Amino acid sequence: MFSKILIANRGEIACRVIKTCRKMGIATVAVYSDADQDALHVEMADEAVRIGPPPSAQSYLQVERIVQACKDTGAQAVHPGYGFLSERGAFAEALKEAGVTFIGPNNKAIAAMGDKIESKKLALAAKVSTVPGYVGEIRDEAHARKIAKEIGYPVMVKASAGGGGKGLRIVHKESELAQAIQSSQNEARASFGDDRLFIEKFVTEPRHIEIQVLGDKHGNVIYLGERECSIQRRHQKVIEEAPSPFLDEDTRRAMGEQAVALAKAVGYDSAGTVEFIVDKDRNFYFLEMNTRLQVEHPVTELITGLDLVELMIRSAAGEKLHIKQSNVTLNGWAVEARIYAEDPYRGFLPSTGRLIRYQPPPEGEYDGAMVRNDTGVYEGGEISVFYDPMIAKLCTHAGTRALAIEAMGEALDEFHIEGINHNIDFLSAIMHSERFREGRLSTAFIAEEYPDGFHGRPLDAGMARRFVAAALAIKLARTRRAGDISGTLNGTHQPNGDYSAAIGDTYFEIADAALTDGALNAVIDGNAYEAEVAWAPGEALLRLLENGQSHVFQVARLSGCYRLRHGGANVIVTLRSREAAELAALMPKKAAKDTSKTLLCPMPGLVVSVNVKEGQEVKAGEPLAVVEAMKMENVLTAGRDATVKKINARKGDSLALDDVIMEFA
């Protein structure tokens, strides 16, 4: 067994690998760029080595520097995590030449399966059902147009070395193809150093289901069940679960056996994932094989009780698998939600900045459900513009799917983040979606459920009243505290407990409100209301016990109102005396600033291209500029027909949020 391992990665996966190494008594070495010198994985490791400037191409993709770091620290093996160099055969070969063990599959398997084009050829030769498409690299745009016409739209443009949704675009019509090729190549080049592309048919109403395989260097390969990964946005997985609510035992076994056969064909000897597209009739098609640890591996660990990182390390060290296929059992249900630094209310645009507050729910078992949080950040840390926007992977495990989803909903409500925008409301809303709870999933789930974008979970009458009650409890607790401070007026501002509450344009009349020893009583719109409240001024979370059900709210006091988050809804509640509410209704409303004649940068990022010139007439939907943030390209389009009056930004400029890129006449 190795005594020292270097982790050639960053963020949560580097921290995840370090935890297992600690458990095994193995010393660890972290590598870091200048942007990550204060990162959590650097603090957790026993040693740390700087490998370059912030851009990945100048640091985490620098093979020579990582090999040199192994030599300098005496690391005997390297775990690559996922992304970066994890599926680069040249990296594994460079380590081998330096006498360092690569904790992953052998070079033959990486070459055969890590390349999406080659793996598809191998699958076809092995008579594995594959998605229709062109088996080979597209030469240029004209070649791509010819292939797409032959296959028929919609098609997928995919990076051969891709993964994690990078370098992948769905193209519905020929006019979208050129931009898709350009963006896919740029993302693939930046993320993987390889801009080769191929095209295949996009299967409509698909599910994305993958099989976890595990091999050793003695010819043994097993599969550890499947993961349902259909909840995706921009081909990036958002929520995963294991097992899948769609598969029956026969389909699971058939997919597993096919995945094992494919792995054995290339002598696979580590953890890997065979991905399939599954249609509504449970027909499945080989998509690709990821020759690395997957982001969503925790859900498999939770239902099998196995540590995949430990098994990868033991396999790399030459040990035999200690478990046979007949010993693999799937226990309960696990769900993973990826928490990203992005704003779901503004089209999921990336968000960067300092984590002023980062307080995840406590890990461990509560009421029969397990909570696990894999993260690579900490309170006070910085979310950088240079890397993937993932903050954490929150996982829950329980005896049934319904209980795991319920536990996830509550854990998300308790996850408190301030300083940057995040997608917790969005994840929570999905947990409460009837369609999700019923297991009616496809990769188009998000697009179909939120066709006009995400605007928060809609409030029904019961939820609205609950939000009013939470705001009322905060108001009464704050008023009582003010009255208890020496030198201030004793009592409340409203001796009779009468208030008026507003959520948007909906108003609620409150009478006889009182909060005594944590018991809230009031009459809301003529109906008696009572609940138990656990909250004190200054706390970020308020717990409301209503009719035996616990509801957790995140609390923020704004000027003249309260912002409350709960269950996927982000609500502002204004609470006033009735007299003040009557006067407020007479106040004029401030008109929103007119931004129709400008193109604003929707997030901090780097200008990849400006696609128009001053004086040019543009049509609604026409690409105007491309801005890159967190390794993803964002195409900014015209909202209406207009004429470009002035261009304020050029290729290579670094822009802040709401910087003016161009103005229109």
Instruction: Give a three-class secondary structure readout of 527-591.
Output: EEEEEEEECCCCCCEEEEEECCEEEEEEEEEECCEEEEEECCEEEEEEEECHHHHHHHCCCCCCC
C-alpha–C-alpha distance, residues 168 and 575, integer Å: 48
Dist CA 316 CA 326 (whole Å): 23
Rg (C-alpha) for the chain, rounded Å, is 27
74 secondary structure, DSSP code? T
Contact in structure between 308 and 297 (CB atoms under 8 Å): yes
Contact 466, 529 (CB under 8 A): no
* CB-neighbour burial class of residue 648 (10 A; exposed 0-12, middle 13-18, buried 19+): middle
Rounded CA separation 87/42 (Å):
23
Specify whether 382 is catalytic: no
Q: Are 168 and 155 in contact (CB under 8 A)?
A: no
Q: 280: closest CA among 201, 205, 203? A: 205
- What is the phi-psi region of residue 6: left when phi exceeds 0, alpha when psi lies from -120 to 50, beta otherwise? beta
The Cα–Cα gap between 268 and 211 comes to 14
Distance CA 53, CA 39 (A): 14
Q: Which of 228, 241, 288, 336 is flagged as catalytic? A: 288
4 C-beta neighbours (distance < 10 Å), count: 17
Distance, CA of 387 to CA of 551 (rounded, Å) = 35
Q: What number of helices (H) and strands (E) belong to the chain?
A: 17, 39
Q: Give strand ranges (E) for 128-179.
A: 155-163, 166-171
Catalytic residues: 288
